[in-house]
Amino acid sequence: MIRTVLVDDENNSIKVLQKLLQEYCPQVTVVGTADGVETGADVILFVRPDLVILDIEMAQGNAFDLLNQLQPLSFQVIFVTAFDNYALRAFKYSAVDYLLKPVNIRDLCTAVERVSDKFEEKSVIGRMTALLQNLSGVQQLDQKVAIPTLNGFLFITLREIIRLEAKASYTVIYLTNKEEIIATRSIKDYEDLLPEAFFCRIHSSHIINMQKIQKYQKGRGGYVTMEDNSTIEVASRRRDEFMQRLLK
């Protein structure tokens, strides 16, 4: 059995989750509930669960405030949130199971199955530690980013991204395997999210991975040729910043 604690400041949400888990996830046993960061920490430390299903935004603090109190982590986490845009920021690079409210039964069952598949404690500690390090600003190309699409979320490493291009309110992400992902977020969101150590916005419509540049051609602002053989103009007003980054 997967001994589970539910943490959410909305009592009705806890009741709904308890009912869904009882009916559709027989491998889960709810051994405790809490309504916030402090009570959550107390309950988790007392019962030492295998799994915590945790709301991201609560009245007093958030999920990451709670997790930071409980290092090193010996349990798995499923995040729950009503804010997909917040989830994008929260899961900036690490692939951790999470659900959007209202909770879909199929998604819940799938998440619990993933928990069952990843039940080894060493794997749990490593994955959750990576999450908290990412949220603290550790920026490595092997870290993952959650990409929201029309059909759900895809998880890709930063190393796979060659460039991003704005298409109206969407963003097309071009990968090293020649796949193109249409993300349901604006390019400004990705400018804010992607680490400046590796990514640079060179035009109002383009962000590039500085590690994937093949050559730079001079001009008013200039042009870069990327690993996928695309040629992209560098906006003249962004040239100085780009050249500083290029020549570091």
Pair 46, 31: CB distance under 8 Å: no
pLDDT for 95 equals 38
Q: What is the pLDDT of residues 173-186, one digit of tens each?
A: 999 999 999 998 88
pLDDT for 40 equals 87
What CA dihedral angle connects 20, 69, 36 and 26, to 10 degrees?
A: 10
Pair 131, 96: CB distance under 8 Å: yes
- Within the chain, all domains assigned CATH 2.40.50.1020 are found at 144-246
Q: What is the pLDDT of residues 66-79, one digit of tens each?
A: 888 887 777 888 88
206 vs 147, higher pLDDT: 206
Q: What is the pLDDT of residues 185-212, one digit of tens each?
A: 889 988 888 888 889 999 999 999 999 9
Mean pLDDT of the chain: 82
Percent of the residues in the chain that have a pLDDT greater than 90, as a whole number? 33
149 vs 179, higher pLDDT: 179
Q: Which fold has domain 144-246?
A: OB fold (Dihydrolipoamide Acetyltransferase, E2P) (2.40.50)
Whether the predicted pLDDT of 130 surpasses 70 = no
Dihedral sign from CA coordinates of 15, 59, 42, 117: positive
Q: What is the pLDDT of residues 77-129, one digit of tens each?
A: 888 877 665 555 545 424 356 777 888 888 888 888 877 776 644 455 555 55
How far apart CA 80 and CA 83 sit, in angstroms, is 9
Structural tokens at position 16: 């709904």
The stretch 136-145 carries a mean pLDDT of 62
Domain over 2-135 is classified CATH 3.40.50.2300: yes
- Within the chain, all domains assigned CATH 3.40.50.2300 are found at 2-135
pLDDT band at 248 (very low <50, low <70, confident <90, very high): low
Query: Which amino acid type is present at position 98?
Result: Y
Structural tokens at position 151: 């059909």
Which residue's structure tokens are 């920490």? 41
Whether the predicted pLDDT of 133 surpasses 80 = no
Q: Which long-range contacts (CB under 8 A, 24 or more apart) does 130-133 make?
A: 130/94, 131/67, 131/91, 131/94, 131/96, 132/64, 132/67, 132/68, 132/71
The DSSP line for 144-194 is EEEEEETTEEEEEEGGGEEEEEEETTEEEEEETTS-EEEESS-HHHHHHHS
Q: What is the pLDDT of residues 37-64, one digit of tens each?
A: 888 888 998 888 989 998 888 877 888 8
pLDDT band at 138 (very low <50, low <70, confident <90, very high): very low
92 vs 244, higher pLDDT: 244
Q: Give the lowest-confidence range in 157-161, 179-183, 217-221.
A: 217-221
Closest CA to 61 of 78, 84, 38, 44: 38
Percent of the residues in the chain that have a pLDDT greater than 70, as a whole number? 83
pLDDT for 36 equals 85
Q: What is the pLDDT of residues 25-40, one digit of tens each?
A: 998 999 999 988 888 8
Interhelix angle for 11-24 vs 105-117, to 10°?
70
pLDDT for 72 equals 76
Whether the predicted pLDDT of 162 surpasses 90 = yes
